[in-house]
Amino acid sequence: MTAKINVLDNGYVRLVDAMGTDLTPVNAARVSYAKESQVLTERDVRLIKFLAREGHTSPFRHAIAQFEVYAPLMVARQWFKYIIGSAHQEGAGDSLDAWNESSRRYITEEPVFYVPTSGQWRGAPENSKQGSGEPVATRIGSEAMKKLDDSVAMGMEFYEWALANGICAEQARLFLPAYGMYVRWYWTASLQSIAHFLAQRLEHDAQAEIQAYAKAVLTLIEARFPVSIGELLTKKEDAE
């Protein structure tokens, strides 16, 4: 399974593996009655709708997906909150999540950085202390892009100097500009947990960069669990 969607300038989301189909939550729910479906029927779809609508989410934990993600560190750290905050309760994902990330303690591959173009820089919102508002003036965006390019170039120069002079990789990485640097990780999660992530990060007020990754995850997971993910997200919309 190698479905992959490119995100931002150098990032991507790849569906590495998946366990289950829309039949998985159906059969998990019906095991109490020692019944099992072999082909998804309208009756099964009605059951999925019922489970999602009524908040009976445990059957959706039996369907699992594994993703490889390559994203700027600022996206990774927002995403990671869904792992450390997982618990078996309504609306909070679940404790089956797993996260394994590449580390510059061990690798020295060429660092890659996210640098927004001049038209992608956003201003501060008018009525909030967080998030972003409208795009800044092109002149400001161009200057911001140049300054970030300069910062990356300087950090790379110092990083390479440190490595060349025998400083260990785990300390040399201190010279690298952190938040825009791409990192790679595996995320394995249940369908319930994935739906919780999507419900939060597909919102119009979510940070644009992580919203772009959430859209990629949705596209990949919809192909495998079209009914279940649709109903789990519909439940969130109905509750608002």
- Which residue out of 61, 104, 201, 224 is catalytically annotated? 201
Question: Going by C-beta distance under 8 Å and a sequence separation of 6 or more, which residues neighbour residue 17?
Answer: 1, 65, 66
Place of tokens 């992580």: 210
Q: How far apart are CA 134 and CA 15, in angstroms?
A: 33
Burial of 106 (0-12, 13-18, 19+ CB in 10 A): exposed
Instruction: Assess whether 184 carries a catalytic annotation.
Output: no
**CA-to-CA distance for 9 and 117, rounded, in angstroms?**
10
Among 62, 57, 66, CA closest to 22: 62
Q: How far is CA 193 from CA 18, 67, 134, in A?
A: 14, 13, 31
Beta bridge partners of 64: 19, 190
Closest CA to 24 of 216, 221, 187, 234: 221
- φ, ψ for residue 9, nearest 5 deg: -90, -40
Q: Which residues contact 131 (CB under 8 A, 6 or more apart)?
A: 125, 205, 207
Which residue(s) pair with 181 in the sheet?
113
Please, which residues have CB within 8 angstroms of residue 129's CB and are 6 or more apart in sequence?
Answer: none
Active site residues: 201
